[in-house]
Amino acid sequence: MGFITSFHSKSRSIRSEPTKTPSADDPVSVNYFPSRECNYACGFCFHTDTSRFILPIDKAKEGLRLLKEAGMLKLNIAGGEPFLHPKFLSEVLRYCKEELKIREKFLREHCQWLDILAISCDSFDRETNIKIGRGPDGNKDGDNVAQLFRISEWCKKYGIKFKLNTVVNIYNWDEDMAAQLEKLAPFRWKVFQCLIVAGENEDETRKRDARKFLITEEQWQTFCERHKHLDCYVPEDNKSMASSYLLLDEEMRFLDKGDGPMKKSDSILDVGVKPALNQVFWDKESFVDRGGIYEWGRPEMQEGGCGTGDNKELDW
């Protein structure tokens, strides 16, 4: 298992320079799930390990080219756990940075193709992580938190933006994470309310039943109030999450995880980007309102961090 995998790293981002002026309907930011495979069993997961399918790399490259031509400026590679397929991941990153003509200085190895590394961390307490489904999985000391701090230092060393994602659920809603966040100093901390998605995690017939992880509105607001003073803090409740993300699955189909059963478009490899996009609902206004467009590049972000003072990097 790779050193990132043990943290269920989930996502890393790459950015491109626009080849044209973006329009309101362009898929400017796409979350791509190349595989559903995962080494964790988080009880609230809404994109579960129900398939081992992964596209041939040439097909993946074709789809990424189509997205770039349609106006994509940022690609977020998520999962599952992308690092379970390291060759596929590194080739996708290299392709996006070199052959899709994205401007960026090269650093070391695969870091040269990476703008943002987002790590999932739902608790700084070992027992809480085990309850959630993020128990020890191969770390020498079994301590996920220690590894998290090492990863944040590696990001600083190689000039990669470090981002943190947290799902607020019944096991962590009363945890105070402020002190640890100030030490980690991510440039952005996305805090999600535990979400039910029909067809993925809504009951005992699915691979994950997230109902026992749900929290009340009062519990959600309590967590938010406790951390809202942090500059890096970006909360997203269920309403914000449901339709504001542009999701692309392992077969390069757009996903609509709004109200009711999840919908899937035809693959962009079969019908093209715009026709596929028209088959799902993407709430572009909510995408902008939640701060979906921000400085995606690398250079200046290492200054500042998750403190309590003014942070101009988070002005949208």
CATH number for 90: 3.20.20.70
Q: What is the mean pLDDT of residues 263-286?
A: 91
Express each pLDDT in 202-239 by its tens digit: 888 887 888 999 999 999 999 999 999 999 999 988 77
Q: Would the pLDDT of 92 be above 70?
A: yes
Express each pLDDT in 14-64 by its tens digit: 555 554 555 667 888 888 999 988 888 787 777 777 888 899 999 999 999
pLDDT given at position 10: 43
Residue with tokens 């080739």: 91
Domain limits for position 62: 5-314
CA distance 186 to 116: 10
pLDDT given at position 77: 86
Domain total in the chain? 1
Catalytic site includes residue 42: yes
Based on C-alpha coordinates, what's the Rg of the chain?
Answer: 18
Among 138, 137, 222, 144, smallest CA distance to 180 is for 144
Catalytic site includes residue 45: yes
Per-residue confidence at 126, pLDDT binned at 50, 70, 90? confident
Name the average pLDDT for the chain: 78
Catalytic site includes residue 38: yes
Is pLDDT larger for residue 6 or for residue 11?
11
Note the pTM of the prediction, 2 decimals. Answer: 0.60
Q: What crossing angle do the helices spanning 57-69 and 86-94 adopt, rounded to 10°? A: 30
Express each pLDDT in 152-192 by its tens digit: 888 888 888 899 999 999 999 999 999 999 999 999 999 99
